[in-house]
A and B are shown apart, each in its own frame.
Chain A
Amino acid sequence: DADVTQTPRNRITKTGKRIMLECSQTKGHDRMYWYRQDPGLGLRLIYYSFDVKDINKGEISDGYSVSRQAQAKFSLSLESAIPNQTALYFCATRESSGATDTQYFGPGTRLTVL
């Protein structure tokens, strides 16, 4: 089974709808991230969480909210979707120790807002 899973994998919705993207991990990492990826712009950070009680805005948090329900679960919501939120969304966990610092990404959710 995959260590970081995302649901749904694909979603088409209409402008103004509320959408939730879910992320679960079995890696036991405290740190979790949500990114969006657009062609030519790379990955941009939306929100990140260092533990269940610590949630922080990233570079492009406007129009998004998150919920860290448990160490293993981190959800991203679009309160009122708009077309320029059409993108590929990735969840990631982070393992950081003296020896390594690595992010583990989920398979992504392709979101289309019409």
Chain B
Amino acid sequence: SQKIEQNSEALNIQEGKTATLTCNYTNYSPAYLQWYRQDPGRGPVFLLLIRENEKEKRKERLKVTFDTTLKQSLFHITASQPADSATYLCALLGAYGQNFVFGPGTRLSVLP
């Protein structure tokens, strides 16, 4: 069956360090993958999209990689700050390109 997993439910890191979040999927062949940020009580906010023919994408302190062989995406936040504390969701374009399927999310806490 199709499945999307994110490495852990929660991740705590020290301010200034690099946070690395993982998204693994099985039985999908996504054309692209997205990452969203969600703050408590709010809707997800789009961060980055990476296509299957792109190995890496960057936006300011964010970096996303996409390995279609490993069926995995890594999401990095460099020089993390307490303001980066949130839940991060990955999403894949599902079969037939009609809808997105979301992972369960990883709650990141950046400790001062």
Contacts and interface: CB of A to CB of B under 8 A. Distances in A.
A42 B89 contact: yes
Nearest to A96: B97
Given A42-B104, A58-B99, A102 B9 contact: no
Nearest to B41: A108
Contacts of A102: 34, 46, 49
Given A100-B49, A101-B32, A101-B93, A40 B9 contact: yes
A92 B43 contact: yes
A49 B62 CA distance: 32
Interface residues of A, number: 23
Contacts of A43: 44, 89, 102
A100 B48 CA distance: 10
Interface string B93-112: 10000111111110000000
Interface in A38-76: 40-45, 48, 56, 58
Interface string A8-45: 00000000000000000000000001010000111111
Nearest to B90: A42
A56 B91 CA distance: 20
Given A43-B102, A45-B99, A108 B49 contact: no
Interface of B: 4, 9, 32, 34, 36, 41-46, 49, 89, 91, 93, 98-105
Given A103-B36, A105-B45, A108-B42, 15 more contacts: A33-B99, A35-B102, A40-B104, A44-B102, A45-B99, A58-B99, A90-B43, A100-B49, A102-B46, A102-B49, A103-B34, A103-B44, A103-B91, A106-B43, A107-B41
